[in-house]
Amino acid sequence: MSYLKTERCPHWQIASALLVVMVSNVASAAETSVKAGASLNYEYNDNVRVSPINQIALSGWTASGSVDMRYATPRFAAEGTLRLNSEKFDSVDTKKLSPGLQEPDPSDFDSDNQALSGTLTYSAERQKYALYGEYSRDSTLNTQFTDTGLGDLATVEGASRRESVTLRPSWRWQMTERQNLSLTYEWQDVEFDSERYSDYDYQSLVSSWAYGLTERVSLQVVPTFSYYESSRVDKVTSTAYGVQAGAVWEYSENLNFTGLIGSTRVETEVDGGFFIIDPETFELIFVEYDDQESTGLTGNLRASYTQERTGISAQLISEYVPSGNGRLREDTQARLKYFWKPLERMRLDFDARYGVSKDTRARGGTETERDYAEAGVRFAYQFAEEWWVSAKYRYRLQDYENSANGSGEGNLFLASVSYRLPKEIL
C-alpha cells in the first residue's frame, strides 16, 4: 500500500494556503458578504472526563469569535469561516482521587482553539466541482468523547492539543434526467500533543450512483474505500472497502426517509511484535503480530420531519471511522434531534445519541468495546436584533467493557450571551 502514503506537511503552511485562496477569491469579487459575531460562555462540568474514579469538576469561561465570508456568481461560489475561542478555567475539584495522584491546576485545562474552513464550488450545465478544506486546533476534551473516550480512567491530567488538516475535493455529474454520479475523495492528517493518542493519516474515496424511480423515490449504490495509517511505535495500517445500497424517499416537502445497508471488509497490518521464551531452549524468540481481517455490517437509516417552527430527525448509522486510538474504529450510533420555535425569537433544541465503539488494539490483538451516550437540551432567546442569550444542559455517560471501575457519568451546565453584527462588514 505504499502508493497511498503521504509526506507530512506542516499544518500552519496548509492553513496559510487555505486562507490565501479564500481571501483572494473574496477580495477580487465584485460582491462580497462578510459577517462576524462573538460570544461569552460560563460553564460548570461536574465530571469533565466522564470517569467513575478520579473525577474532575471544572468551571470557567470561554470567549469566542467568528467571521463568515461568502462570494457567489451563477457558476462560482467561495465560502470561508474563521472561528477562534479561548477556554480559561478558574476552579477545579477532584473526587474519588486515587492515592498518589496530585490534584491538577485549573490552568492545565485552558485551551486556545482555532478553526479555518473554506469551500470553493463551480457548477457547469451537468457537472459540479467542489473543494473543501479545513484546519483545526482544538482541545482533546472537546474532540475525543465519541472517538477514543476521554482518557484512561485511572489517571488525572489536563487538556491536550488535537491538530488536524482536511482536504475534500468532490465531483457530481447529472448523467441523465434520472441518473447522477458523484465522487468524493478525502484526506485527513491528525496530530496529538499527547502520548495517550496516536497521530494518523486517513484517506477515503466514496462514490455514489443514484437512479430516480419516480419524482420522489431514488435508488442509490455507494461503493467506499479507505486507507488508515497510524504513527504509533507499532505502526498500524488498515484498508477498508465496501458497498451500501438502498433508497431515498421524499414522501413530502416536510417528510423524507433514507435507507442504506451494506458491508465493509477491513484488512489490518501491524508492524512489530513481542518476545517469548522458548520452553525448551530458553531462548528469546521474536513473534510478529498477525495481520487481521474482519467484515462488518454498515448502514445509514434516517427519517426526518421539518416544518417552519419545529422539526425532528432520527438516525441509526454504522460505519468505520479513523480514530486516535491507533486503529480504524467500528462505530454504531443511534441519534435523535428535535427543535421547536414557539416564538420568532425563541428556540428550544434537544439532541441525544447512544453509541457503541469497537476497535482492535495492536498489542496482543485485544478487542476493546466502549458504550457512550449523551443528551442535551438548549434554550435560546433573541432579546435584540443582534443579541442572544442561551442556557444548556448536557448529560454524558461512558462505559469501558474491560474496566473494573464501572461506568462514568457527567453533567454540564452552560450559560451564554452572543452578539452578531446586525449588518454585513462589506
Pick the closest to residue 362 from 287, 286, 266, 289 (CA basis).
Answer: 289
Q: What is the pLDDT of residues 288-333, one digit of tens each?
A: 777 788 899 999 999 999 999 999 999 999 999 999 888 889 999 9
**E strand spans, 126-254:** 127-139, 161-173, 179-192, 200-212, 217-230, 236-249
Q: What is the mean pLDDT of residues 19-44?
A: 73
**What are the tens digits of pLDDT across the range 173-187?**
999 999 999 999 999
Stretch 185-199: mean pLDDT, rounded? 92
Residue 122 has pLDDT above 80, yes or no: yes
Task: Give the residue extent of every domain in the chain.
Answer: 2-420
Identify the band that residue 280 occupies on the pLDDT scale cut at 50, 70 and 90: confident
- For the stretch 229-240, pLDDT in tens is 997 667 889 999
DSSP string across 77-116: EEEEEEEEEEEEEEEEEEESPPTTPPPPPGGGG-EEEEEE
Burial of 5 (0-12, 13-18, 19+ CB in 10 A): exposed
Q: Average per-residue pLDDT in the chain?
A: 87
Quick check: 268 and 229 in contact, CB under 8 A? no
Classify 143 as helix, strand or coil.
helix
Model confidence at 17, pLDDT cuts 50, 70, 90, reads low
Least confident segment among 18-32, 364-378, 394-408: 18-32
What's the rounded mean pLDDT across residues 143-153? 77
- The percentage of the chain sitting over the pLDDT mark of 90, rounded to a whole number, equals 62
The model's pTM is: 0.84
pLDDT, one tens digit per residue, over 61-89 is: 999 999 999 999 989 999 999 999 999 99
Q: What is the pLDDT of residue 53?
A: 83
The more confidently predicted of residues 40 and 154 is: 40
Tell me, what's the pLDDT at 43?
97
Mean pLDDT lowest among 30-44, 274-288, 395-409: 274-288
Examine the pLDDT at 272 and tell me if it is beyond 90: no
Mean pLDDT of 341-350: 96
Confidence of residue 424 (pLDDT cuts 50, 70, 90): low
Q: Please name the residue that has the C-alpha cell 477556554.
A: 87
Cα 301 to chain centroid distance, Å, stands at: 19
CA 37 vs CA 26, 65, 215: distances in Å: 19, 6, 41
- Report the pLDDT value the prediction gives residue 155, as an integer from 0 to 100: 65
pLDDT bracket for residue 29 (50, 70, 90): very low
pLDDT-derived band at 365 (thresholds 50, 70, 90) equals very low
Q: Provide the pLDDT confidence category of residue 149 given band limits of 50, 70 and 90.
A: confident
Mean pLDDT of 220-226: 98
In words, the CATH class of domain 2-420 is mainly beta
The most confident of 47-56, 181-190, 322-331, 361-370, by mean pLDDT: 181-190
Beta-carbon contacts of residue 281 (< 8 Å; ≥ 6 apart): none
